[in-house]
Structure 1
Amino acid sequence: MKKQLVTAAVCLSALLLAACGSKSSSKSVGSTKSISLMQNAELLSLDTSNHADLTQWNVLENSMEGLYRANRHNNPSPAMATSVVKPTDHGKTYTFHLRKNAKWSNGDALVAQDFVGAWRRSVSPTARSGYNYIFSGIKNADAITAGKKSPKMLGVKAVNKHTLQVQLDHPMPYFNKMMVLPAFFPQNQKAVQKFGKAYGTKSQDMDYNGAFQVTGWNGTNDNWTLKRNHYYYDPSAIKLQQIKMSVVKDPNTAHNLFTQGKLDDATISGVTAKGLQKNKDLVHVRKAGTYYVRLNLRNGRPLNNQKMRQALSLVVDRQKLTKDVLSDGSKPAYTYTSKDLTKDPTTGKDFATETTPKLKYNVAKAKQLWQQGMKEAHLSGTVKLQLNGDDQTVTKNVAQLLQSEIQQSLPKVKVAINSLPAKGFQDREAAGKFDMEQTLWLADFADPISFMGILESTNPQDYGKYKDAQFDKLFKQAGGANANNPKKYWADLRAAQERLNQTMPVLPLYQMVESHLVNPHLKGVLHHPVGEDDYTRAYLTK
């Protein structure tokens, strides 16, 4: 899942530094039926067919449900489906029986066609979410995304009102894991028809089938409320009446709001987090996500040269980055696929650990590669690189370190930093107007192929235009012919990660570890290392 970056800040005065180092104790927001949470970036849309980022998925995780939801053990458990399905037809057919008491927030019955219509809409080549690729493997999905077949040909159908059947092109052992993703959530087809292009652009322009429904978002404001959905099928499991959400980009502000009792869960980083590592309310949440720099490999761009890309990776001191800049428990990342995502069952080793490159930080080697690369690319003057990022504090701090290390370590290079609002950043990304950009990938499901997918050359999220025949072949083999052969499947994935280590279309920076200040009375939250956090069963003890 491509997401906006988590915030970090440097306290700018002795007063703020004192505040950063103080101990804190959160208070309840005034009601045991209400909690207040923060998001690090603006909410831009609620329509999963036309948008996808962290804030949207965090909101939908708590207001919508798919066929399954992730349980406390991070495994799929029944949601709109009555049970976790075992496939038939040699792993190619899944038949889901839906809850007959499932309803939308307006009282409409949820039916199988709500999944059919949503998936057809999202797989269409006109969908703007960048997530139509996630349907690959479902019968005809690739041809539909390529514009060669109608979305009506997608291998999904409503057998009857409460039975959904999915046909795959080939077995996908991880298919059930994928069904917890917001990309596969249903959409009330009556609402889609009613609101048309306005669907999901404001909180009232769609319906919700989860424990809560979104209210008070007009499409541009930075705060909204999730209020209890009284049509939810399992009311006894829901203890809260509402969840208040607001956008907070600065961790020192988040800390202050927490100490004032205005946030029950605050994300902090940088100097703020460093000064609070012994705070009794601090909780570290490990995520299977990698922060990295995407490089633009388009023809005519300087980083089209492989040796220059390798040089950039070797001048980044990731230990310094995580220790001195982030200071929030984050760990250096040397592979695109994050550690702690999954073990390779054929070796018993952590997948990222076993594919970590031997050469990690070597300025002398980097200079040699840079000079060779410039010669190959016929570059003689100063190489000017544009480093884009969003306007959150952590992005700026990381960018400054990257700028300093690149310019000090490599000859004839100048790095310009562009800090942009979320929409401006995404617009430039989609248009390819960058040389480097800071971003994050958080695994959609616990398998390395979730990372590999967006670097495949036909993927709509391949914004850097990485196109490598060897990588594409390995990716397609793993997800196709070798999907049901564990030995070959994992060999393909190891080779694909090693190919990324060599060709370097992205520069891994650090693994995602969130520092949260949490109200000690807040219980029942499910923090998932893969996917979004679930507050639907949360409650306050006083």
Structure 2
Amino acid sequence: MHSFTKILARGLLAAALLGGVSSAAVAEMVFNKGNGAEPSTLDPHKMEGVPEANIAADLFEGLMTYDAKGEPSPGAAESHTVSDDGLTYTFKLRADEKWSDGTPVTAADFVFGWQRLVDPKTGSAYAYYLDPVVNAEDIRNGKKPLDALGVKAIDDRTFEVKLNAPTAYFISSLVHQSTFAVSKANVEKFGDEFIKPGNLVSNGAYMLAEAVPQGYIKLVKNPNFHDAANVKIDTVMVYPTEDIDAELQRFKAGELDMTYELPSQQIPSLRKESPDEIHITPYLGVYFYAYNLTHEPWKSSPELREALSLAVDRESLIKNVTQADQIPAYSFVPPGTQNFPTWEPEDGKLTQAERDAKAKELYAKAGYGPDKPLKLEITYNTSENHKKVAVFIAAMWNKKLGVDAKLVNQEWGTFQNTRNKKEFPDIARHGWIGDYNDAFGFLQLELGTVGEQSTSGYANPKFDELMAQAAKATDPKQRGDLMQQAEKVMIADLPVLPIYFYTTKHAVSPAVKGWVDNVQDFHLARWMSVER
């Protein structure tokens, strides 16, 4: 329990013994959680990172939400129907769906939220997310007005969506925070200040009580949530921290009930000392480096990009640095992704000695060698784990090829902007967690039309065409085969350097009940309890 929470609990207990406070107040259930970097925003339409998404999942509820096992399930919409041609989705909102101020959540709020997402004025990096919806791409590119978006409020409880083509992943994609509604009345009243404590209204299990920069975010139970009677945790204290060693110490001291991450060097000993508290499980995500293809030499030298990729000994990196059972990555879509056939690039079939020899040949072919060493920068967001990976990779490149790599770290918000704007000179640390369990959610990052979330500024018409065909395909096998072909084109071009497929790494107190490991790594507080 966090120190000031302990003090508060002692004070309440003393007061209760004196008859001044009810027993209900003493029984308040608090969940103290580590949450990684300081969230850059609490606006669901402007969020990008996992730390922000974790908070949004407790504050808001989309048409779909995550169940206790991390699977998509009905959220604000109690049901939906699909037309025979697969182009029209009709959602029926819950009759008791309310904002935290007690006003009803209406279909008009979803219309407003989705229009706000694709509005160029909003500047959302996730504006492309609604591209399957009629006219969404043209609207975000300034070619059509907002009211042309293929969404409609049939009545207060009926929300209609029209798609360009049948979209297999559409329903599962609606768990993502970019598709959440926001209260139109609330946003119009406060403008950009609507996300502040005291202003923000939300429709999830919790509402925002406090937000102290570099301190904590306090969420309290929302009495107007449609399932409030079954929500056990009263207060969620979210503690941002980029110092994962300090986070672990707070967990060991009982100040945190879970950590966002674990220091890689301590994982072997933690597994021995506290096996029941350590949760390391497969994660639907890929850790990679992105080349800036808007800059030279990366733009015009596929040989150089491949040479650096080959020279990374992923197995050694995982064994000696990350130490959390990650899987070496030579492709981009994680293994086990639904309806996507597994394949392995040729480079992944070589021994590391063979990869190193090929790397030296390609490095020389690109015009580099002892008399002309490559100089580059690796830009990463502040994290001891990211730093260790960068140090290890830079050392490998130097030893094998003579590359002179400089490491540059930035705090999370600055780093996101640097990466999105392609302002890093050479290579940026990157990672992508599936917004839903489908290969399209990964591969769309390499589309020439995706905008700021393009990892590298990559554009290949052949890749784009295969992805367009996959988006229209209704047969799961045909769709998966088309996306596999697209990934093969992309991996041959190597706009990115895949390093490993993620695992999640948490320490979780035995007091936390209802925690279920899942590949999406979503653990909504509404499904859990804390029994101290």
User: Aligned residue for 1:476?
Assistant: 468
Tell me, yes or no, if structure 1 residue 388 matches structure 2 residue 354. Answer: no
SS across alignment from 1:216: strand
SS of equivalent residue, structure 2 residue 143: coil
Counterparts of 1:39-438 in structure 2 under 5 Å? 39-83=35-79, 85-200=80-195, 202-218=196-212, 220-266=213-259, 267-278=261-272, 279-280=274-275, 281-302=277-298, 304-344=300-340, 351=342, 357-359=348-350, 361=352, 362-374=355-367, 381-411=372-402, 413-434=403-424, 435-438=426-429
Cα distance in 1 for residues equivalent to 2:95 and 2:486: 44
Alpha-carbon shift at residue 447 of structure 1 (Å) = 0.8
Structure-1 residue corresponding to 2:13:
none
1:179-234 alpha-carbon deviations (Å, 9 max, x no partner) = 1111111100011101112232x33332110001122115x333111100011111
Alpha-carbon distance in 1 for matches of 2:380, 2:123: 21
Amino acid at match of 1:439: H
In the superposition, relative to structure 1, how do residues 446 and 103 fare at CA in structure 2: closer, same or farther (>3 Å)? same
- Once residues 187 and 57 of structure 1 are traced to their aligned partners in structure 2, the CA distance between those partners, rounded to angstroms, is 15
Three-state SS of the structure 1 residue aligned to 2:463 is helix
Tell me the SS of whatever aligns to 1:265: coil
Amino acid at match of 2:418: R
Residue 17 (structure 2) aligns with: none
**Are the equivalent residues in 2 in contact too, given 1:100–1:162 (CA < 8 A)?**
yes
Question: How far 1:75 sits from its partner (Å)?
Answer: 3.6
The alignment yields a C-alpha RMSD, in angstroms, of 2.2
**Structure 1 Cα separation of the partners of residues 499 and 92 of structure 2:** 43
- 1:331 Cα offset (Å): 2.5
Aligned-partner Cα distance in 2 for 1:178–1:52: 15
Q: Is the 8 A contact 1:292 1:439 kept in 2?
A: yes
Q: Contact 1:285/1:516 (CA < 8 Å) preserved in 2?
A: no
1:52-98: CA deviations, max 9, x gaps? 21111110111110011122454432211112x23104100000010
**Matching residue's letter, 2:107:** A
Q: Is the 8 A contact 1:329 1:514 kept in 2?
A: no
TM-score w.r.t. the length of structure 2 is 0.90
Higher mean Cα deviation, 108-117 or 521-530? 521-530
Q: How does 1:507-522 map to 2 (within 5 A)?
A: 507-522=497-512
SS of 2:159's equivalent in the other structure is strand
Give the structure-1-normalised TM-score: 0.88
Instruction: Give the number of the structure whose residues are more often helix, by fraction.
Output: 2
User: Is the Cα–Cα contact under 8 Å of residues 70 and 522 in structure 2 kept in the other structure?
Assistant: no
Structure 1 residue runs without a partner (length 5+):
1-27
1:300 shift after superposition = 3.0
Asked if residue 465 in structure 1 is aligned to residue 461 in structure 2, the reply is no
**Partner amino acid, structure 2, of 1:259:** K
Range with bigger deviation, 452-461 or 380-389: 380-389
Identity of aligned residues (%): 27
* Code of the aligned partner of 1:458: T
**Distance in 2, Cα, partners of 1:534 & 1:418:** 34
How far the C-alpha of 1:401 sits from its partner, in A, is: 0.9
> Contact 1:64–1:209 (CA<8 Å) still a contact in 2?
yes
CA contact (8 A) 2:133 2:149 kept: yes
Which residue matches 1:15?
none
Paired with 1:379 and 1:133, the residues of 2 have a C-alpha distance of 44
SS of 1:271 mapped into structure 2: helix
- Counterpart of 1:512 in structure 2: which amino acid? Y
Q: Is the 8 A contact 1:32 1:540 kept in 2?
A: no
Which residue, out of 432, 438, 452, partners 1:447? 438
CA 1:273–1:432 in structure 2 vs 1: closer, same or farther (change >3 Å)?
same
CA gap of 1:426–1:354, structure 2 versus 1, over 3 A, is closer
- 1:540 aligns with 530
* CA drift at 1:497: 1.5
Query: C-alpha distance in 1, partners of 2:446/2:409?
Result: 24
CA distance in 2, matches of 1:233, 1:290: 35
